[in-house]
Amino acid sequence: MKTIYVLWLRQIKRFLRSPTRIVGALGQPLLYFLAMGFGFGSIFRQAGAGNYIDFLAPGIMGMAIIFSAVFSGMDLIWDRQFGFLKETLVAPVSRFNIMLGRILGGATTAGCQGFIVILIAILVGFRPHDPWLLPLVFLVGVLVAFLFAAFGMLLGTLMRDMQGFPLIMNFLIMPMFFLSGAMFPLDNVPTALQVIALFDPLSYGVDALRYLLTGVTHFSLALDIGVIVGLSMLLVVLASSAFGRMQV
Amino acid sequence: MKDAEADQRAGLFKLSEMIDVQHLVKRYGDFEAVKDVSFNVPEGEIFAFLGPNGAGKSTTIKMLTTLLRPTSGRIVINGHDAARDAFAIRRSFGIVFQDPSLDEELTAWENMEFHGVLYDMPRDLRHKRIDELLKFVDLQDRTHSRVRDFSGGMKRRLEIARGLMHQPKIIFLDEPTLGLDPQTRNHMWSYLKSLNAEQGTTIFFTTHYMEEAAKIAQRIAIIDRGVIVATGTTEELKAQTGTDSLEAAFLELTGKAIRDEDSSSLDRIRNMSRMWGRNR
């Protein structure tokens, strides 16, 4: 328990101590939000689909979460290259707890990143349909972040260095974001795209956030949470087995 | 009755061996980093493990400290078999790594605290030891500074302080004095020697400074190309090779050709990291 806590705390401290990283990681989602939100807003409205800013905000929150959560998991590669990982691996503590502490730390910080995005969105004109649900939005954000932090952790154990990073970026994270329904409603897209979105875990994350923020859902909140929790457990098992076998 | 006594003696004998390594092999594909290494270190001994670059020293230390699984062979440390009970072994030792292993975003105090929590030290003892050891390595004024602002020597000293923090039965030091000034080096060895004398702590270290090994170690093993080529006291090694210093004996045993170490991708990574604006 203490192991989990110190590793979690370490992630939090590192997060709070690099404000440039926090601001840097906000740049991309905010750019998307402002450019897309205001750029496509009028077309969206003319098509009779309502307020695009409202539609887009949860998707952009999902974007901030998936990026910072996966990267937090992949921090393992840096710790391995810079030696700190050895310090934890020679200690008489279980690897599962080391891993869980790291994932929880990454989930918390990525959840915060996502929540900051929503707060900024509110500043520029986004209106959540029920502000009292915001704490729940934060919690579900952390839950979604947990899934992707575990995923990043799994990737981190499988990679020796950052050489494969562009591959992960362009063939996993970007497609997951673009095909998740973060930027467009999944209701009327071609069947192929709908089927792909079914296999994209971020679809469920974004859908859950969208339901809590705007009251609109494509799947259903229960299905969303079920898929996120189930998949998280599967990824923890996979990451734990990979991390347990890892040698430095 | 006699058998029981014999058993007991055998048991005692086994316990007094702090490290017992038999036919240790580590293979990476076709490359044998460690070919067939056997040695033992009795409890309470100061033991030097010497060898040129790429001889297999670090690979052996990684296997002894459970970071790497051997291809074959047997490691018993403090009575625990590494293949079966790595966890118990991890409780027994402390290590000062050859390359950095600090979290540079954290302060000196936080790095120590983190270590103390991982080794399940009670809070009071933890804080007492942190104060003591930071004073010992002369970092008490920088207790709450972030490690990334430290010089190379300061980082090294902090690593040493951290490795000693939980008072292990055996301490591995992989080139601990690299980059330290003579004062600090002296200071560190006199501390380790008193630890050895007073608490019987077993000390296993590697170094490239032959005078250091000759002066500090009670026994020395020399490894080359993955095989132990000689073991003994400095005097024995000198006699064996007919030389008059440990350095000469070392060169006699391992040859004069200069070895290359396998270059890692670390430098490339460091550059990449700098590009991404992470100050490590």
Q: What is the ipTM, given to two decimal places?
A: 0.90
Which residues in chain B have their CB less than 8 angstroms from residue A74's CB? Answer: none
**What is the reported pLDDT for A71?**
93
What pLDDT does A21 receive?
86
Calpha distance A196→A202 (Å, rounded)? 11
pLDDT, residue B157, reads 92
Cα-only R_g, chain B: 20
Q: CA B86 → CA A202, B44, B80, B196, B234, distances in Å?
A: 39, 21, 8, 24, 32
- Predicted confidence (pLDDT) per residue in B58-80, tens digit: 999 999 999 999 999 999 999 99
Q: What is the C-alpha separation between B175 and B195, in angstroms, rounded?
A: 19
Tell me the count of A-B CB pairs closer than 8 A.
Answer: 84
pLDDT at residue A162, as a whole number? 82
DSSP string, chain A: -HHHHHHHHHHHHHHHT-HHHHHHHHHHHHHHHHHHHHHHHHHHHHTT---HHHHHHHHHHHHHHHHHHHHHHHHHHHHHHTSHHHHHHTSSS-HHHHHHHHHHHHHHHHHHHHHHHHHHHHHTT---S-GGGHHHHHHHHHHHHHHHHHHHHHHHHH-SSGGGHHHHIIIIIHHHHHTTTSSS-STTS-HHHHHHHHT-HHHHHHHHHHHHHHS--SS-HHHHHHHHHHHHHHHHHHHHHHHHH---
Q: Which residue of B has its CA nearest to A84?
A: B101
Of A28-42, B4-18, B171-185, B262-276, which range is least confident?
B262-276
CB contact (8 A) between residue B95 and residue A90: yes
pLDDT at residue B275, as a whole number: 52
Residue type, A81: Q
Residues of chain B with Cβ-Cβ distance to A13 below 8 Å are: 105-106, 110
Angstrom distance (rounded) from CA A168 to CA A148: 13
The whole-angstrom separation of Cα A33 and Cα B267 is 37
Q: Which residues contact A94 (CB under 8 A, 6 or more apart)?
A: A3
As a whole number of angstroms, the distance between CA A199 and CA A180 comes to 9
Which distant-in-sequence residues (6+ apart) come within 8 Å of A197 by Cβ?
Answer: A179, A180, A181, A186, A189, A203
CA distance A145 to A63: 10
Calculate the CA dihedral of residues B27, B30, B36, B40 and round it to 10 degrees.
Answer: -30
> How many Å lie between the alpha carbon of A46 and the closest alpha carbon of chain B?
42
CA distance B44 to B24: 23
| Whether the predicted pLDDT of B154 surpasses 70 | yes
Confidence (pLDDT) at B257: 75
Amino acid at B129: R
pLDDT given at position A49? 81
Query: Taking 80 as the threshold, does the pLDDT of residue B83 lie above it?
Result: yes
Task: Identify the segments of chain A with pLDDT beneath 70.
Answer: none
Average pLDDT (B190-201) is 93
The number of residues making up chain A comes to: 248
| Predicted pLDDT of residue B232 | 94
Coil, helix or strand for B280?
Answer: coil
- Where does the pLDDT of residue B146 fall: very low under 50, low under 70, confident under 90, or very high at 90 and above? very high
Residue B1 has pLDDT above 50, yes or no: no
The amino acid occupying position B83 is A
Greatest mean pLDDT range, A140-144, B97-101, B179-183: A140-144
Do the Cβ atoms of B119 and A92 come within 8 Å?
yes
* Beta-carbon separation of A84 and B115 below 8 A: no
**Which of the four pLDDT bands, split at 50, 70 and 90, describes residue B262?**
low
Cα–Cα distance for residue pair B70/B76, rounded to 1 Å: 12
The DSSP bridge pattern shows strands B72-77 and B46-50 to be unpaired
For residue B277, name the pLDDT band (cuts at 50, 70, 90): very low
Q: Which of A78, A88, A248 sits opposite B118 (nearest CB)?
A: A88
Q: Helix, strand or coil for residue B86?
A: helix
| pLDDT given at position A1 | 85
- Is A245 an interface residue toward B (CB < 8 Å)? no
CB contact B66 to A (< 8 Å): yes
Q: Mark yes or no for CB contact A81/B69 under 8 Å.
A: no
Asked whether residue B270 carries a pLDDT value surpassing 80, the answer given is no
Angle at B18 between CA B13 and CA B22, to 5 degrees: 85
pLDDT for position A164: 85
Q: Contact B68/A82, CB-based, under 8 Å? A: no
Predicted confidence band of residue B278 (pLDDT cuts 50, 70, 90):
very low
Q: Residue B264 pLDDT more than 80? A: no
Q: What secondary structure letter does DSSP report for B54?
A: T
Position B276 scores a pLDDT of: 52
pTM over 0.90, yes/no:
no
pLDDT at B13 over 50: no
